[in-house]
């Protein structure tokens, strides 16, 4: 299959970004390193999965890139309201689940899709799932994302934040899975601008997350803190298996299941009718799982 210069530029970027992010995360982790797994997709393409597990800071995490191509599955073509044709897609997806409930889980995805008829689009997003009400951390994260978006497309952060609040909303729970971030999809027509946006968001990941990790990972926490984290991870699982577009796309295009489901946490609890203790910091945290202005 012949790839456009645009596709090759995005592919080169995510390769470099994966290296940079893994190195940054390993700089704060003394107990584990990323293990690499190269995989091939029978229909065309493949990916490079990097997983870290059982560290002192990170319980489980993955920073994965994929570049797949071939004939579009009927289910995807039907959803996109087009005839099945050749496509190419590449992107980076990461999820990091720390050990400490004082450190948030984080997710990011940047992606590019093109079809043989010349149509293309970008998508991406990043969101934070904390388990303890540290407003300073939430404001820092959103401020970095606001700068990343607005320096490329002025005034875009507000729209992307709202899309994120809406997208990561667990409808059957009437709550967000975390405190949001930014989300955008189907950005087309202007390759240079939208590629610059994707790069700005990807380049801002370490700035948005590592200061929080460095500040919190050695803080003491209680059994109640850990319980809250494990229960809230259950919400994370619910969202990813029911609503997440990336998960559904990967499974429908015969992606590598282990790489797709690396987003799920190692340890999680589903407890019947569980609620945090009245007056606790965990009860206070529940109020943050609704849309809120941060910066």
In the chain, beta strands by DSSP E: 35-40, 45-53, 58-71, 86-98, 105-115, 120-129, 169-170, 175-176, 181-187
Q: Which of 230, 179, 204 is nearest to 60 (CA)?
A: 230
Q: Identify whether the C-beta of residue 86 lies closer than 8 Å to the C-beta of residue 286.
A: no
Please tell me the chain's helix, strand, coil percentages from 3-state DSSP, rounded to the nearest 5.
Answer: 40, 25, 35
Q: Identify whether the C-beta of residue 149 lies closer than 8 Å to the C-beta of residue 202.
A: no
Inter-CA distances, 89 with 39, 67, 69, 96, 262, Å: 16, 6, 6, 23, 19
SS3 state at 266: coil
User: What residues act catalytically?
Assistant: 107
């Amino acid at each position: 299959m012949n790839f456009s210069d645009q596709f090759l530029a995005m592919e080169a970027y995510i390769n470099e970004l994966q290296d940079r992010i893994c190195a940054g995360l390993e700089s704060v982790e003394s107990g584990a390193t990323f293990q690499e797994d190269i995989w091939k997709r029978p229909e065309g393409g493949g990916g490079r999965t990097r997983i870290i597990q059982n560290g002192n800071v990170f319980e489980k995490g993955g920073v994965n890139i994929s570049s797949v191509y071939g004939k579009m599955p009927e289910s995807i073509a039907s959803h996109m309201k087009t005839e099945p044709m050749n496509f190419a897609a590449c992107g980076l997806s990461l999820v990091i689940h720390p050990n400490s409930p004082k450190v948030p889980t984080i997710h990011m995805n940047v992606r590019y899709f093109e079809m043989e008829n010349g149509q293309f689009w970008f998508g991406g997003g990043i969101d934070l799932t904390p388990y303890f009400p540290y407003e300073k951390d939430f404001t820092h994260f959103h401020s970095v994302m606001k700068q990343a978006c607005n320096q490329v497309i002025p005034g875009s952060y507000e729209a992307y934040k709202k899309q994120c609040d809406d997208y990561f909303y667990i409808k059957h729970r009437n709550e967000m899975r975390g405190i949001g971030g930014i989300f955008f999809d189907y950005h087309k027509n202007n390759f240079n601008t939208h590629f610059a946006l994707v790069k700005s968001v990807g380049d801002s990941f370490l700035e948005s997350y590592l200061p929080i990790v460095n500040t919190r990972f050695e803080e003491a926490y209680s059994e109640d803190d850990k319980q809250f984290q494990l229960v809230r991870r259950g919400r994370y699982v619910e969202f990813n298996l029911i609503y997440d577009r990336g998960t559904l796309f990967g499974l429908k295009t015969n992606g590598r299941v282990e790489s797709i489901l690396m987003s799920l946490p190692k340890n999680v609890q589903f407890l019947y009718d569980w609620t945090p203790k009245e007056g606790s910091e965990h009860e206070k945290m529940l109020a943050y799982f609704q849309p809120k202005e941060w910066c």
